[in-house]
Amino acid sequence: MLDLIVVDYLFSRFPDSREGELSKLKSMLVRGRSLQKIAREMKLGDYILMSDNEARSGGRGRSSILENTFEAIVAALYLDGGNKTARRFITRRVLSQVDDIASRSEDYNYKSQLLEYAQANGLSAPIYRVITEIGPDHARHFEIEVSLGDKPLGRGNGRSKKAAQQQAARVAMELLNKQSEFDPSS
């Protein structure tokens, strides 16, 4: 129900947007982290029935429990009050964040953007190479370089390979976007 209402809203609100852009925005709106944030703002953890052990171990603030509780509320609203009631709730709690989420660049998946760029331009998939890996197992730090073909486009650092790859892809996308501003044939 949540996905359906969000998709319907996005198609209506952004009729000229590409499907890929709308998919990214939908995914940012309904992903676990977004739903957990909303559940925390609503203080849902205070109202969940759970065992004393679960509550003592932090269950009221556990991300997965908050996300599942939010989704259960959407389902209950739909089952009890119908589409209109669920839509009103989702509009107020989820869709009210569209502009904020759309404007936050840290939520964009730069690795996906770089892969889409490569595919759209007939290039092979980006290659991510570990440059350095330092630190003990519990506090690793990675530096990663991303290339398209044999052309290095960016480097990124992070506490995980994924974070470093994401940063490297962001640097690469910024470079590619700047190049296309100056060179319309690129």
**Which of 107, 137, 152 delimits the end of a domain?**
107
pLDDT at 183: 47
Statement: the pTM of the whole predicted model exceeds 0.85: no
Domain boundary among 107, 125, 151: 107
pLDDT, tens only, 48-104: 999 999 999 999 999 999 999 999 999 999 999 999 999 999 999 999 988 887 766
Q: Does 137 lie in the same domain as 61? A: no
Q: What is the pLDDT of residue 31?
A: 84
Residue 108 clears pLDDT 70, i.e. is over it: no
Do 79 and 121 lie in a common domain?
no
pLDDT at 58: 93
Structure tokens at 117: 């760029």
CA distance 33 to 160: 19
> Considering its fold, how many domains does the chain have in total?
2
HSE, side-chain direction, 13 A CA sphere, residue 25: 24
